[in-house]
Amino acid sequence: MVKEINIKDLLRVIEKRFWIIILMIFLSIAAGWIHSKYFTTPLYQTSTKIIIGADPGYMKTLQVIIKDSTVLQKVANQLKLPFSADALAGKIIVDNIDDSQVVRISVVDTNPERAAQIANKTASVFKNEVPNIVNFRDVRILSEANVNPWPINESSNSSLIEAMGIGFVIGLGLVFLMDSLDETINKESEIEEYLGIPILGNVSRMTRRNIMKKNRMRLNIAIKGESYD
């Protein structure tokens, strides 16, 4: 038999075990916070700005040189960094601000002080080395990088909302799963559905299994009565 979906029944099921949804939301938020606090490596970003007095076409060439191993190997050696020039290049982002002559050198690292040191040293080494590489000298430091104590990958409001959504979906699924496994009869209409006859008066709390058992017994008695006739 196909049961009709009743909105009131669905709301009743949710209301009956609404505490499960609240619990799952709380646990999801707590799990997300613990993962972010103890299992996620914080990353810090800072940047320095330099002015390169070159035309747009030449500017792209100079930006490539900033991340070249010729420059970054000197940076790694001077700062005594525990990684190679190639690894250092993966921490550096070079971009041109609004197609101007201002170039931003951003660094992402697990140590905020080291990130600032790398950014400032990269700008300094580039300024000193670029005349030897391409005979270009019009490079000036506009602003130095400062230590940024705030991780860029810490939990945000969007992560909190995402955790709440996951908890709600899990909780809602558990509520309907538990309801489908619950064999308790809560309304007279459910008894009428299983027995196929109207119920007059009040009934005590029963289970679907008991109702089905009694229904089969009634059917067997009726069959035996017909056979005697």
pLDDT at 56: 86
> Which of 38-47, 149-158, 174-183, 197-206 has the least mean pLDDT?
197-206
Burial of 145 (0-12, 13-18, 19+ CB in 10 A): buried
Mean per-residue pLDDT, 65-74: 96
For residue 160, name the pLDDT band (cuts at 50, 70, 90).
Answer: confident
Q: Which two tokens stand for residue 74?
A: 């000197």
pLDDT at 72: 97
pLDDT at 6: 77
Residues 6+ apart with CB under 8 A from 4: none
Average per-residue pLDDT for the chain: 83
pLDDT at 139: 96
> Which of 34-38, 63-67, 141-145, 215-219 has the least mean pLDDT?
215-219
Report the DSSP pairing between strands 92-96 and 44-52: unpaired
Mean per-residue pLDDT, 183-200: 54
Domain boundaries, the chain: 7-39+154-181, 44-143, 189-224
Mean per-residue pLDDT, 138-164: 88
Q: Can you tell me the distance from the alpha carbon of 212 to that of 199, in angstroms, rounded to the nearest whole number?
A: 15
- Domain 44-143 grouped into CATH 2.102.10.10: no
Residue 42: other Cβ atoms inside 10 A:
15
The predicted-structure confidence for 92-133, as pLDDT tens digits, reads as follows 999 999 989 999 999 999 999 999 999 999 999 999 999 999
